[in-house]
Amino acid sequence: AQSVTQPDIHITVSEGASLELRCNYSYGATPYLFWYVQSPGQGLQLLLKYFSGDTLVQGIKGFEAEFKRSQSSFNLRKPSVHWSDAAEYFCAVGAGGTSYGKLTFGQGTILTVHP
C-alpha cells in the first residue's frame, strides 16, 4: 500500500522568500505524484503532477516540484512567495495500473506568509 509523509505541519515564510515543502512517499513501483492546494473552506486545486519523463515539473502559480526516486521525495518549491500563497498544501501519491486510481494524501502543510 502506498503512503505519503509531509514532515512539516506548519511553515511560516516572509513574502518574497523562497519556499520548499517536503513530501516523502512509499510505493513499490513508479508512482503518480501530485501537489494540491486548499484555501480555507474550499475544495482542493491541482498545482502539478508527475507520472513519467522529466523529473522537474512545472505547475500553476509559479510552483515546481522535483521527483527524486532515490530519496522517495517530491518536494514542492517556489522561488518567491506571495501573500496569496497562504493556504494548506497536500502531497498525494497514486497507484498506477488500477482502474480506480486511488490517491493517498499526506496530512498537509499549512503555509503562513508574513508581509
Residue numbers at the binding site for another protein (CB under 8 A): 9, 32, 34, 36, 41-46, 49, 51, 90, 92, 94, 96-108
CB of 110 to another protein, least distance (A): 9
SS (H, E, C) 64-100: EEEEEHHHCEEEEEECCCCHHHCEEEEEEEECCCCCC
Q: Decide if 95 contacts 2 (C-beta within 8 A).
A: yes
Tell the residue number behind the cell numbers 496530512, with chain if given.
107
Angle at 102 between CA 101 and CA 107, to 5 degrees: 140
> 81 or 108, CB closer to another protein?
108
CB of 18 to another protein, least distance (A): 25
CB of 1 to another protein, least distance (A): 11
> 7 or 79, CB closer to another protein?
7
> 73 or 104, CB closer to another protein?
104
